[in-house]
Amino acid sequence: MAPHMLTAGEHQTLSVGDGGDLTSAEAAVLASLAQQRRGFCTLGHRSLKLAQYVGLVNLGGRVLEVLPKIGEDADAAKGRGTLLRLLRLAYDLPVFEHGGVGHGLQQRDLLDVFVLAYLRALLQLVRAGLLRRYRTEEDDLGVVRGRMMLGRQVAVHAMRIDRVACRFDELSIDNPWNQVLKAALFAARPWARGLESGRLWLEMAAALDGVSVRRDALELLAMLVPDRQVHHYTGALRWAGWILKLLSPDLRGGGSQAPELLFDMNRLFEASVAALLRRRAFAAGWHLSAQDDGFNLATLESEPGRSYFRLRPDLVLREGTRVLVVADTKWSRLEIDRVGRLVPDVAHVYQLHAYASVYPCEEVTLIYPWHRGLEGAHPTAFRLPACGTRQPMLRIICIDVAGDDMPFRVVGSGCYLGRLT
């Protein structure tokens, strides 16, 4: 029987102890996990507060499902939809129906969705044809195949003319790539629930019947070296790795960390926005780079050639060598003032001011997730102090993560990123 699910939202506080959300043992497991993932959670008095990580944690008897939360909306289905959309963009996983995240998927437990997505990706591989590789076999045959094993032939079959000891190469699906897939398939068995998942699991088990079961599949996955023959395995292997990490972890290292599949929402939002804008920028003839590190904030006075405080903006949009805009993504709640202007965090503004003072651009942008509390907001831009002959503009824009196409909201005229919508 599959373990029970416990659903929570990011930054939610869970009670600990008798009658609480978590048992003391489960809270201890999560506290241990926080030592590996700094900021995952903090312990309080008979309570545990989650932070910006979302995803799944295997607690043994239960699985903790942590979902993203925007604004005051704590609806679990919407949170799942948001997470699945961001994962689809960030990791290029077009395994959801029509490339989108439908209502049916949002109503399932997150792990159930991951298992179904893996089974669908595996089905595509099987239909395209599983990878086959040659491997050396030894057998006693009725005719010569490959090379004779003279030593065995003389010792075992010296008086027989109907058996020939042979060593030969056999084209087989039993190779490391398919062994990883089968290990993930068997790990996911308790979560292959519902008619579609159950049917797909049985079909895939039959398709991989000739593949060996490996207990060290995670270690094996890390050792695989991709080539052109296995390029079409990328999506299925990513799902397989996630499922193995959560449901069949390699514990030989002796650590007590709980098996988990967690995503930092700050990084996930950044990667998703970068993937979304990169496609649109390419169509416009522009180039978008992520985590750009071409500039520093200062040089040492005594050694002018030595630079310090490297700047790493999330996104830099260029046209040839010309910098059009520098942008940072922020997975945090944006507020509006009483007249409807967007009010960013002051620390975020200082950060963008530092970028504007160094990067030769006319525009810097803060990108936040849209939420219902921003209804009626006006396009908002601020003039920053002059930098030589430049006086950069700071623009605040939002992306609606509730839609599959993730449209921009409250974008003023003249905004470079607005032209990519």
Rounded average pLDDT over 59-69: 90
**Are the CB atoms for 179 and 210 separated by under 8 Å?**
no
Confidence (pLDDT) at 257:
58
pLDDT of residue 148: 80
Last residue of a domain, one of 121, 142, 172: 172
Buried b (16+ CB within 10 A) or exposed e, 235-258: bbbbbbbbbbbbbbbbeeeeeebb
In a domain, 277, yes or no: no
Q: Which is it for the CA torsion 371, 374, 376, 377, positive or negative?
A: negative
DSSP H or E stretch at residue 116: helix 110-128
Tokens encoding 59: 């607690």
Whether residues 238 and 343 share a domain: the answer is: no
Cβ count near 144 (within 10 Å): 11
Whether residue 44 is found in the same domain as residue 186: yes
Asked if 264 and 142 touch (Cβ cutoff 8 Å), the reply is: no
Domain count, the chain: 3
Residues 145 and 411: their CA atoms lie apart, in Å, by 71
Long-range contacts of 22-30 (CB under 8 A, 24+ apart): 22/48, 26/59, 26/62, 26/64, 29/57, 29/59, 29/60, 29/256, 29/258, 30/57, 30/59, 30/64, 30/258
Are 160 and 302 part of one and the same domain? no
Report DSSP letters for 41-71, one per residue.
EEEETTEEEE-SEEEEEE-SSEEEEEE--BT
Amino acid at 86: L
Average of per-residue pLDDT values in the chain: 88
Residue 274 in any domain: the answer is no
* Partners of 319 in beta bridges: 322
Residues 226 and 339 in one domain: no
Residue 323 lies in a domain: yes
301 and 395 belong to one structural domain: yes
Three-class DSSP category at 357: helix
Q: Work out the angle at residue 45's Cα, subtended by the Cα atoms of residues 44 and 49, and round it to the nearest 5 degrees.
A: 30
Are 115 and 208 in the same domain? Answer: yes
Write down the pLDDT at residue 198: 93
In sequence order, what are the beta bridge partners of 63?
5, 58
d(CA 92, CA 115): 17
Predicted confidence (pLDDT) at residue 256 exceeds the cutoff of 50: no
Residue 275 in domain: no
pTM value?
A: 0.84
**228, part of any domain:** yes
- Of 144, 172, 200, the one marking the end of a domain is 172
- Residues 92, 38, single domain; the answer is yes
Statement to judge: residues 236 and 381 lie in one domain: no
**One domain for residues 140 and 40:** no
User: Which residue has better confidence, 42 or 96?
Assistant: 42
Q: Give residue-wise pLDDT tens across range 259-274.
A: 889 999 999 999 999 9
Counts of helices then strands in the chain (DSSP H, E): 11, 21
User: Mean pLDDT across the stretch 140-166?
Assistant: 84
Q: Are residue 371 and residue 386 in the same domain, yes or no?
A: yes
Same domain, 228 and 301: no
193's tokens:
């629930």
Q: Tell me what pLDDT residue 133 has.
A: 83
Considering the domain boundaries, does residue 343 fall inside one? yes
Share of the chain above pLDDT 70, in %: 93
- Whether residue 2 has pLDDT greater than 60: no
The tens digit of pLDDT for each residue in 288-345 reads: 999 998 888 998 888 888 888 999 999 999 999 999 999 999 999 999 999 999 999 9
pLDDT for the residue 97:
46
62 and 157 inside one domain: no
Range of the domain at 162: 133-172
Domain assignment present for residue 276? The answer is no
Phi, psi at residue 185, to the nearest 5°?
-60, -45
Mean pLDDT of 186-196: 89
How long is the chain?
Answer: 421
- Residue 101 inside a domain? The answer is yes
Nearest residue to 415 via CA among 389, 393, 386: 393
